[in-house]
Structure 1
Amino acid sequence: MSELRIAIVGFGKIARDQHVGAIAVVQGATLAAVASRNASLPGLPHFATIEELLEQGPPIDAVSLCTPPQVRRAQAATALAAGKHVMLEKPPGIGVAELDPLIAMAAEAKRTLFATWHSRYAPAVEPARQWLATRRLKSVHINWKEDVRVWHPGQTWIWEPGGLGVFDPGINALSILTRILPQPVFVTAAELAFPANCQAPIAANLTLTDIGGLPVTAEFDFRQTGPQSWDILVDTDGGQMKLSRGARIMAVDGKVVADAPDEEYRELYRRFVALTATGMSDVDLAPLRLVADAFLLGKRTLVEPFVD
């Protein structure tokens, strides 16, 4: 199999911390260039924009878009029009409807569009899905709280319209939820706390359910200090299952049954390489729909201004 030559577009923290290392170890993938206005990687061709990359850069087969979501739709359309496969960091866009034209473009061009949900590739997700498939679920609770100053320092885009605020990490939990539960869920109520100087929420509480009435609650907060919380608890007729540390660890009634090293981004690129070999796409919008519905249904309150 020939190497998939990939260019990273947008070279911020997540690209440096996760994407570069993952591409380096995944068989069939190679990093060929970087496009970013503000950063570069020694030894690689560098361009300021995706347009410069496509016009002046080395031969590439695919782009991995790690830019803020507000600009990804236009960049993805540019790349698809140029005949490139496209990987979208999460969230795949700032709205649900804007993905439909990209899906159609990819299909017409026989190119891959991959809307990634890296948390679904955490090591305990599939064991949890399989375990829950044979139990009767009683309730679900998500506790997803982290310090925005640690994980998103100076990233002002996250507070702008389309930046999602606390739903940027919260959508990771929802991507796990929509993978492990046997039935689709939907939002019935939401409370959103907006800093007085921001256009996106800093905290949110959601109430969800499925067609059978399963009670599901979620607490998201960007103001957590000290230990960080990335937990999902599911009460069942076979005991309580807990996913912790972002679904790296699975325990049942306190006994660890799954614990493995984190290879989320390596698995993303393995999946991307496999998809591009066939030209198939993978665009699951269920987590984004839940966030959109939370904004539609959310009762909004103002809280103190956010200062980074």
Structure 2
Amino acid sequence: MPPIKIGIVGLGKIARDQHLPALAANPDFELVAVASRNASLEDAANFATLEEMLAGVPELDAVSLCTPPTVRYGQARQALQAGKHVMLEKPPGATLSEVEDLTRLAEASPGSLFATWHSRHAPTVAPARKWLASRQISKVHIEWKEDVRVWHPGQRWIWEPGGMGVFDPAINALSIVTAILPRSFFLREGTLKVPENCQAPIAAKLRFSDSEETPITADLDFLQTGPQTWDIHIETDAGNLTLRKGGSQMFIDDRLEHEAPEQEYPGLYARFAELVARCESEVDVAPLRHVADAFLLGRRETVAPFHDES
């Protein structure tokens, strides 16, 4: 089959760091267009908006939306209505209702809808799920701590309604945990620390449990400097499993069992190519639902204002 002609919408840090290299390495795709208000790309047709891109490149097969979640719904709807296949960066939307509406639209359109969770393509996710399937889990703890000034320098949208604050990275942890734990779990209580000049939390502590009252906790921080912490600790009746470095390493009782280079975005585009070939959609909102529950049930604590000093 000929390559899938794809366009990227939003040429920011995540698109340049992850999407462009993944597309360049995948022969199933041909990047033919970019829509961005503030950037352009050589060897591609450049447009200011998705609407202009759709009109200017009618042979386009698919679009990859790398814009902030607050504007993604309208763009995805426009692309689906134009008959294009649509890939959504995480989170798939600003609200669950938006994603539900897009899912219904995709079911009635010729295009596929792929709500991506890149951390589920970390190399230890599948081995961890398999290892846990036959064991009794007694405790889960998530530590997800990183430096917002490194990963989102000058990006004020992340502190506005819909920007999610610390949940922008922490939803990656939730995407892994919802993929590897054998039972669904639910938020019981939480504390969200919100800077006095922001609308989204900069840190959070959450307590979940499942139908068997297994304690599942999360400690999230967007101000950690130095080494970053992306770890998940799981205690079981047959040993302790730890995923480190965002799922790049898997330890059993402190013994390294599995490690591989990060290939998350190549994995996403390989999966998207499969969905496009089959004209199928893949939309799982479980991680986003947990974030919505945190905003719904969590107590808010006002903390010192945040200033981007980068």
TM-fit CA distance, 1:110: 2.7
Q: Distance in 1 between matches of 2:235 and 2:27?
A: 39
1:120–1:175 CA contact under 8 A, matched in 2: yes
Q: How many residues align?
A: 308
Separation (CA, whole Å) in 2 of partners of 1:234 and 1:100:
32
What is the distance in 1 between the residues matched to 2:188 and 2:53?
Answer: 44
Partner of residue 57, structure 1: 57
Q: CA-to-partner distance for each residue in 1:217-272, whole Å, 9 max, x for gaps?
A: 00110010111000000001111100000001000011111100110000000000
Alignment correspondent of 1:160: 160
Partners of 2:84 and 2:110 within 8 A in 1: no
Deviation of the 1:203 alpha carbon: 0.3
* Contact 1:186–1:208 (8 Å) recurs in 2: yes
Q: Is the 8 A contact 1:32 1:58 kept in 2?
A: no
Structure 2 residue runs of 5 or longer lacking an equivalent are none
**Does the 8 Å CA contact 1:33/1:46 hold for their aligned counterparts?**
yes
Q: Contact between 1:47 and 1:57, CA under 8 Å: does it hold in 2?
A: no
SS at match of 2:27: coil
Contact 1:9 1:66 in 2 (8 A): yes
Aligned to 1:109: 109
- Deviation of 1:58 after TM superposition, in Å, equals 5.6
Quote the residue 2:18 is aligned against: 18
How far does residue 41 in structure 1 lie from its aligned partner after superposition?
1.1
Where structure 1 has 5 or more consecutive residues not aligned to the other structure, the ranges are none
CA–CA distance in 2 between the matches of 1:220 and 1:80?
A: 35
Instruction: Give, in angstroms, the shift of residue 128 of structure 1.
Output: 0.4
Alignment of 1:84-233 (within 5 A): 84-233=84-233
Contact 1:143 1:229 in 2 (8 A): yes
Q: What TM-score do you get using the length of structure 2 for normalisation?
A: 0.98
TM-score, normalised by the number of residues in structure 1: 0.99
Q: 2:97 and 2:135 mapped to 1: Cα distance? A: 35
Contact 1:33–1:58 at 8 Å: present in 2 too?
Answer: no
Equivalent pairs: percent with the same residue? 58
Using the alignment, how far apart are the partners of 1:80 and 1:58 within structure 2? 14
Poorly superposed stretches of 4+, deviation over 3 Å: none
RMSD: 0.7
CA contact (8 A) 2:88 2:114 kept: yes
Give the deviation of 1:101 after TM superposition.
1.5
SS in 2 for 1:220: strand
* Structure 2 counterpart of 1:71: 71
Q: Distance in 2 between matches of 1:62 and 1:56?
A: 14
Residue 302 of structure 1 aligns with which residue?
A: 302
